[in-house]
Amino acid sequence: MKIKITGDTVCDLSADLLKLNNISIMPVHVTLGDKEYEDSATITQEEFYSFLKNNPVLPKTAAYNPLEVAEFFKEQLNSDGGYDALIHFTISAKISTIYQNCVTAAQEFDGKVFVVDSKSLSTGIGLQMLYACDLVKQGFDAKTVYEKVLDRVERVQASFILDKLTYLHKGGRCSGVALFAASALGIKPIIILSNGEMKVGKKLMGKFEKSVDSYVDYILQNFSDIDRTRCFITHTPIDSKIVDSIREKIKDKFDEVIETNAGCTVGTHCGPNTIGILYYQK
């Protein structure tokens, strides 16, 4: 059975990983001021973060509509000589309407398209996509791959630590009082994906570099039943020394540690100096 794995740019998988695993990606819409772009297609990450740094107006991301999705599904099913089935991964349905739009579009394809609500974001989605690729390579049919992926959705540990709450505040996810208190006390919040929603796991205090170290300890202690297969270190623009320190701290716990850059979705809501480790639990 010939199976195609697809997703969108929210998954934050690098171009090399996409090519290596023959994954096709649909760009989400990004609005900067009065101009609309397609994430990673008509705007680069460098251009996006430059706008974020130099403009008071917060970028906006928008879901693609069912007609766009249906066209994408059709194109992918017919690519490479044709596929028997397609498995498409989306950001959590509790965060975006993308999942429901994809389910609507999938109804046109007579059961050939399976849509996965990752209940996650960023490389929390990417983990699931690579797991699906592993299963396809092992020869499982599409329905079995889909079911095995769903069985592990709740086992994804996806989290980030933020240097500042400024961008969550601009996006309406943090009150002005909370922003003032966090700024005054130097609070660095840990954001954890739980049941498909973003929640504050712990509030750390002090310098960002030290807080990042404490964040990694906190996550590894509280999500300790680790699947060693792979771990992502995913971040917005940040000092490379911080990335290196995390890599050194976790390298013996995983067979593969992959660094990726967070795209427009994480960048819009979290801003620069955001970093996370994401992995499966057993």
Sorted by where each begins, the domain ranges of the chain are 3-28+63-151, 155-281
Neighbours of 121 (CB within 10 A): 28
Tokens found for residue 170: 């601009």
Q: What DSSP character marks residue 58?
A: P
pLDDT at 34 > cutoff 60: yes
Q: Regarding predicted confidence, which is higher, 103 or 52?
A: 103
Lowest mean pLDDT segment, chosen from 41-55, 75-89, 125-139: 41-55
Taking residues 207-222, what's their average pLDDT?
Answer: 95
Predicted local confidence at residue 252, as pLDDT:
96
What mean pLDDT value characterizes the chain? 90
As a whole number of angstroms, the distance between CA 59 and CA 270 comes to 12
Q: Are strands 226-235 and 257-261 parallel, antiparallel or unpaired?
A: parallel
Closest C-alpha to 280, from 74, 123, 107? 123
Identical fold, 3-28+63-151 and 155-281: no
pLDDT at 33 > cutoff 90: no
Q: Does domain 155-281 match CATH 3.20.20.70?
A: no
Give start and end residues of each alpha helix (H) in 115-175: 123-137, 142-151, 166-170
Give me the sign of the Cα torsion angle 120, 123, 124, 130.
positive
Closest C-alpha to 31, from 17, 42, 15, 20? 42
pLDDT bin (cut points 50, 70, 90) of residue 170 is: low
Per-residue pLDDT of 220-267, as tens digits, reads 999 999 999 999 999 999 999 999 999 999 999 999 999 999 988 888
Tokens found for residue 57: 């107006």
Q: Regarding predicted confidence, which is higher, 200 or 190?
A: 190
pLDDT at 49 > cutoff 70: yes
Tokens found for residue 133: 């690729």
As a whole number of angstroms, the distance between CA 103 and CA 63 comes to 13
Closest C-alpha to 36, from 9, 58, 60? 60
CATH for 3-28+63-151 (3.40.50.10440, 2.40.50.100, 3.40.50.2020, 3.40.50.1100): 3.40.50.10440
pLDDT bin (cut points 50, 70, 90) of residue 126 is: very high
